Structures are given as C-alpha cells and as structure tokens.
Structure 1
Amino acid sequence: MRRTFDDARRWARLGTELMLKAAAGLDDDGFAAPSALPGWSRAHVAAHVAANAEALSNLVHWAATGEPTPMYASPEERAAGIERGRALPAAELTVWLRGSADALETGMAALGEEQWRAQVVTAQGRTMPATEVPWLRSREVCVHAVDLANGVSFADLPTDFLTALCDDVVAKSAAAPGPAMTLRAPATGAAWDLPGDGEAALITGELHDIAAYLTGRDAGPLTADGTPVPTLGAWL
C-alpha cells in the first residue's frame, strides 16, 4: 500500500478545498448544468458529496462512541437524500456542502488513537478500522471535484493521491472478470499489472490520464500499439 493515514488526511483536506472552490459562485443555473457524470447535474454531484460527508460522520460517531451508526438508513434513503439536495437553491446547497465537510473534519480531528482503531462498517457492508474513513473521503472529494466540471481536472490532483487511487482501482478490478492489462506511467515510474482475460494490453501515458481511465472518467490513452484501450467495468 502506497498511502498512509496522514496522506489520506491531507488529501481529504485538499480535495475538500478543490470541491468547495469548484462549487463557489455557482448559481441555480450553474448547478443545474451537466456534470461530467452521465445523467447527473452539478447539483447532483454536490448533493452526493455533502451527503457522503454526513454518512462518514456517522462512522466517526460510531468510532467515537462505540454506538453502531450506519452510513445510510437504506439505499433508498441515500438516493432520496441526493434528490432532495440537488433541488435545493444554490445558496442552500453550497451551505450544506461546506457545513457537512466542516462537521466531518471536526469529528475526525476529535478522535483519539484508540477510537481511530475502532471497527466500523461501510455502506457496502465492509468492516474496516475508522482509520480508513479519511481515504474514503479523499477519494470522494478529489474525484468528484473533477466530476463537477468547473475547472478541476485529474491533472490538478497530487501525484501521490493519483498513485494511491490507481492502486485502489486495480486492486478492486483484479477481483472481477475483465481484460488483462499492464499500465505504465513512465514520468512517475508508477506501474500496475492487472490480471484478466487474454494477452495483456500495454497502456502507457500520463498518470492523471491513467487514473481518469481506470475510474471511468475518460476513454483513456491508446495502447502501446495504437489501438483503443479495453473497456472497463464499473469501478465502484
């Protein structure tokens, strides 16, 4: 693993700053404009990120008190919360986005070492130590700051975060059926081998382009022989 707890805390703060900066100044029309995610407006993305902060705050409460507190009451309630949020006036949505992020940061800052080691359960049912919460948040805010489609790109994200993100996606993809590939980012020296079907396609490019490809945000760079890259399944 090429990331540490301190890395994740730093990336979560940086991603939050990028997200808030990208959302700043958007009016109702700006939030209603399409995001980089098919079928979602910028308001959908902002509401999703705000709701995520509240959900992760539930896990922080769980770690702090020992009281089991699920991220969401149900998948249906999660979806309904995003729908309610995306319909908010721009000013209210921005306040929710910032306020939920501030509350999560305050909650995390208050946890002690023993509380950080407490076991909590994600919305997908995975049991993990609370020390993983900052990574979940950094992944959320950094990637969705790009999805907001308002001035932030994968090239704006830190190299060490992009490397950790690719590590994460490759580890998840390796457990599912798919094409074999070898990915190389020569400028940083980062490399991944993804097992799968067929002869491994060699894909080289800038780290930010590889991260965008692996997370389904871009068609990706060409393979070494100039052919299109394989189509990947959903990341999350």
Structure 2
Amino acid sequence: MRTLQTTLAWVAEGTELCRKAVADLDEASYNEPSLLPGWTRKHVVAHVAANARALRNLMHWARTGEPTPMYTSPEQRLADIESGATLPAGWLTAWFEQSAQLLAYAMAELTEEQWRAEVLTAQGRTVPAGEVPWMRTREVMVHAVDLGTGVQFADLPEQFRAELRQDILAKRGSDTVPAIQGADADITAYLAGRPYTGVANRDGSPAEPLTPWL
C-alpha cells in the first residue's frame, strides 16, 4: 500500500525520467508525435508543466486554507497546453524544470496536519492534500513513457505499476475491462490505453484496445 513518503519519492523518480527524456530533444524532435494521439512531445511536456503549476495551487490551498482551484476553467487547462506546445524547445524545457522545482518546494513546505487538509481536484473530487503526490506521480511516470524516447512501463517501479492498475480499474470500472492475461508491465500499458504487447483475453483471443487514460 502506498504511503505519502512512497509517493513523494515516486514524484522525484518520475520527474527525473521526464527530465532525461527531454534532455536531448531539439526543436525537430520535440515536434515529433508522442504516443498520445494528436499530441506532439511538446504537448506532453506542456501538459506536465501546466499540471505542476496547477497542483501547486492545491498545495497553497492546503497550506493557507485559501481555496485555490487547479485551473480557472477546463478551457484554461487546454489553452495552457496549446500555448505551451508553441514554445521554443529551450523555453519549454525550462518551464518544465521550473514548474517541477516549484511544486517540489511547495510539497516540502506542508506540515503533517496540512497534508490532511481537504482540496478540490479539477474533476470536482474532494481529497486530502496527501493525495496530490499520487496525482503528480501518475502524470510524470505515465507521460515519461508517452514521450516515446525509450522509457517503457517495464522501467517504472513495480509497486507503482500495481497501484496504477488498481487506480485505473477503479476509475474505468472493472465491469468495463475484459479479463486479460500478460506480464504486469504490459497489462499496465494496456489498462492505461497505451501501446502494448503480449496482452490477450483469457481465452487467448486479442484484447480489445482501450482508450487512453490520463
């Protein structure tokens, strides 16, 4: 079972995976398609950077008690991604770095009591602030794979993959996901709606692909 300390460590590990994935991307490489349909690598990095800024709002909320939504509206979230995807490669990488560092600082400021403070996610769920590191972990880990620079689900921590599978099944609804078989990393990719290999239905027939999650 994951703990706050576990997820904070995963945030740092996932951030480093993203950092390494973008380190050598030039303008042309940044503009190549990601593993997410319709998104370039720039879109993915812009999303990760904007997400860090949004989650920092929740850290401010937990620390001060001042309601600070992640985004002013769904439209703002999309506009931030599209705007970020037009930035030059160097600027986009710098935004990713700055936003990740500022979020890390904000997380480090919270007391044990403040981690228990309730905040509101962009989907309207009321959660304790201690859930925010898990929200960020999913973003940096899964999107490190989405960048398509070589990181695979098999490279992600085994315990993280197990927690992610449970999370996805809970949100998708177990009745909507077929009974499948395969290696756990491949099953994780399948459940996340990402490219996968070696996953089949229990009767050996091909598994029906799922739509991207997250």
Q: TM-score range by the shorter chain?
A: over 0.9
- TM-score, normalization by structure 2: 0.95
User: Is the 2:194–2:212 Cα contact (8 Å) retained in structure 1?
Assistant: no
Aligned-partner residue type, residue 149 of structure 1: G
Aligned-partner residue type, residue 40 of structure 1: W
Match of 1:226 among 200, 204, 211: 204
Kindly tell me the number of residue pairs found equivalent between the two proteins: 213
* C-alpha distance in 1 between matches for 2:117 and 2:21: 34
- Structure with higher Rg: it is 1
Aligned-partner residue type, residue 214 of structure 1: L
Residues 46-85 of structure 1, C-alpha deviation per residue, up to 9 Å, x if partnerless? 0000000000000000001000000001111111111111
* C-alpha distance in 2 between matches for 1:82 and 1:136: 18
Give runs of ≥4 in structure 1 deviating > 4 Å.
none
Structure with the higher fraction of residues in helix conformation:
2
State the partner residue of 1:90: 89
Unpaired runs of 5+ residues, structure 1, are 182-202
After TM superposition, give the deviation of residue 180 of structure 1 in Å.
4.5
Q: Does 1:206 align with 2:183?
A: yes
Q: Does 1:159 align with 2:150?
A: no
State the partner residue of 2:31: 32
User: Is the 1:172–1:235 Cα contact (8 Å) retained in structure 2?
Assistant: no
State how 1:30-179 maps to structure 2 within 5 Å: 30-174=29-173, 178-179=176-177
Q: Does 1:216 align with 2:198?
A: no
After TM superposition, give the deviation of residue 224 of structure 1 in Å.
3.3
* C-alpha distance in 1 between matches for 2:135 and 2:170: 15
After TM superposition, give the deviation of residue 235 of structure 1 in Å.
3.2
Equivalent position SS for 2:119: strand
After TM superposition, give the deviation of residue 163 of structure 1 in Å.
0.3
* C-alpha distance in 1 between matches for 2:55 and 2:25: 25
* C-alpha distance in 1 between matches for 2:151 and 2:54: 24
Aligned-partner residue type, residue 123 of structure 1: A
Structure with the higher fraction of residues in strand conformation:
1
After TM superposition, give the deviation of residue 234 of structure 1 in Å.
5.2
- CA 1:13–1:155 in 2, change beyond 3 Å: closer, same or farther? same
What is the percent sequence identity of the aligned residues?
56
After TM superposition, give the deviation of residue 10 of structure 1 in Å.
1.1
Unpaired runs of 5+ residues, structure 2, are none
Equivalent position SS for 1:155: helix
State the partner residue of 1:193: none
User: Is the 2:169–2:177 Cα contact (8 Å) retained in structure 1?
Assistant: no
- TM-score, normalization by structure 1: 0.87
Residues 21-69 of structure 1, C-alpha deviation per residue, up to 9 Å, x if partnerless? 1010211111101100011000000000000000000000000100000
Aligned-partner residue type, residue 229 of structure 1: A
Aligned-partner residue type, residue 213 of structure 1: Y
* C-alpha distance in 1 between matches for 2:195 and 2:75: 29
- CA 1:231–1:36 in 2, change beyond 3 Å: closer, same or farther? closer
* C-alpha distance in 1 between matches for 2:172 and 2:73: 26
User: Is the 1:179–1:230 Cα contact (8 Å) retained in structure 2?
Assistant: no
* C-alpha distance in 1 between matches for 2:211 and 2:193: 8
* C-alpha distance in 2 between matches for 1:179 and 1:50: 31
